[in-house]
């Protein structure tokens, strides 16, 4: 991808924010776009998009072309799990802060699930009640914050946050209604991969390849089943993956980090 200039990730003046991966079918190659800003997120974005790129490349010969990628939640498993498979390379990015990154990345993955669910819940309410005023919408967000993210302080001095206005940062709410819950489903599966990686990396990779090499040839739940993975729709799944991650975080040596 570097040789083919298929990674456009460095910041240039006027460049749009965000990150994405797409494929250029005529050339059978993936393409990654990002806008690095010198933060931990750069690494998360590029390893995330690399997961999409890898899955796209694995399935580049698939006919018809529309079956190259599965549905959105299934695609996000490729990427969110790749973020965890990339941990062995974190040291090259973070040096002495590597352990800090591990802690931040895993805890962020866990807390993302209630946050992402809140984004979905919020959309249900505002799309059902299109006549809500801007102030009422902020009120809904603020109320949901209390339910899904009770650890967040809402008494700050910046109204954008304290008054529940910052849902407007989520372009998905405007541009891709109801997409967000897909990230929550995928994050749950990626945490399943994370737990497998801790136990047996080669085995985890075999499951990943079994999953990703199917492209879009089956539905989300069948792709998971065929690769020996639990569905996030099973009640025990979320409990188990959270348990494993929580234990790891609870036993994490925070010396020199906190
Ligand atoms: Zn993605």
Per-residue pLDDT tens digits for 201-220: 999 999 999 999 999 999 99
Contact criterion met (CB below 8 Å) for 191 and 249: no
pLDDT, the chain, mean? 94
171-181 mean pLDDT: 91
Residue 114: pLDDT band by 50, 70, 90 thresholds? Answer: very high
DSSP codes joined into one string, 215-232: TTSS-HHHHHHHTT---T
Q: In this predicted model, what pLDDT tens digit does every residue of 70-113 receive, in sequence order? A: 999 999 999 999 999 999 999 999 999 999 999 999 999 999 99
Q: Tell me how far the alpha carbon of residue 172 lies from the centroid of ligand 1, in angstroms.
A: 12
pLDDT at 159: 79
- Angle at which helices 40-58 and 72-85 cross, to 10°: 120
- Ligand 1 center–CA 50 separation, angstroms: 9
Q: How far, in Å, is the centroid of ligand 1 from the Cα of 125?
A: 25
Residue 3 CA to ligand 1 center (angstroms) comes to: 23
Predicted pLDDT of residue 166: 87
**d(CA 203, ligand 1 centre) in Å:** 24
pLDDT of residue 39: 92
In the sheet that holds 29-33, the strands lie side by side as: 7-8, 29-33, 20-24
Helix (H, G, I), strand (E, B) or coil at 248: helix
Beta strands 7-8 and 29-33 are parallel
Tell me, what's the pLDDT at 26?
A: 94
Query: Position of tokens 């809904």?
Result: 140
- Contact status, residue 141 vs residue 164, Cβ threshold 8 Å: yes
Name the residue among 164, 120, 173 with its Cα closest to residue 142: 164
Would you state the pLDDT for residue 162? 84
- Domain residue ranges in the chain: 1-69, 91-258
Question: What's the confidence (pLDDT) of residue 255?
Answer: 86
33: helix, coil or strand? strand
pLDDT category at 56 given cuts 50, 70, 90 is: very high
Q: Kindly give the distance from the C-alpha atom of residue 188 to the centroid of ligand 1, in angstroms, as a whole number.
A: 14
Provide the 3-class DSSP secondary structure of residue 23: strand
Say what the pLDDT of residue 186 is: 98
Once rounded to an integer, what is the mean pLDDT over residues 163-177? 89
| Confidence label for 163 from pLDDT (cuts 50, 70 and 90) | confident
Instruction: Give the pLDDT confidence score for residue 170 in this predicted structure.
Output: 87
Model pLDDT, residue 156: 77
């Amino acid at each position: 991808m570097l040789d083919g200039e298929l990674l456009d990730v460095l910041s240039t003046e006027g460049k749009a924010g965000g990150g994405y991966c797409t494929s250029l079918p005529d050339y059978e190659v993936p393409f990654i776009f990002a806008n690095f800003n010198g933060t931990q997120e750069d690494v998360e974005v590029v390893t995330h998009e690399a997961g999409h790129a890898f899955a796209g490349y694995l399935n580049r010969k698939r006919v018809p072309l529309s079956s190259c990628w599965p549905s959105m939640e299934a695609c996000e498993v490729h990427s969110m799990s790749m973020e965890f498979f990339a941990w062995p390379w974190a040291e090259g990015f973070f040096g002495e802060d590597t352990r800090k990154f591990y802690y931040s990345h895993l805890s962020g993955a866990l807390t993302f699930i209630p946050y992402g669910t809140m984004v979905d819940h919020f959309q249900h309410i505002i799309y059902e009640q299109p006549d809500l005023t801007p102030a009422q919408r902020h009120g809904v967000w603020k109320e949901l914050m209390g339910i899904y993210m009770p650890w967040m302080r809402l008494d700050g001095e910046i109204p954008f946050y304290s008054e529940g206005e910052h849902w407007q940062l989520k372009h998905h709410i405007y541009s891709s209604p109801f997409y967000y819950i897909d990230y929550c489903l995928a994050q749950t599966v990626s945490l399943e991969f994370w737990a497998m990686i801790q136990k047996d990396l080669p085995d985890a990779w075999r499951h990943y390849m079994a999953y990703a090499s199917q492209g879009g040839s089956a539905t989300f739940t069948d792709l998971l089943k065929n690769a020996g993975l639990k569905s996030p729709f099973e009640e025990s799944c979320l409990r188990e993956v959270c348990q494993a991650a929580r234990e790891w975080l609870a036993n994490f040596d925070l010396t020199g980090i906190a």
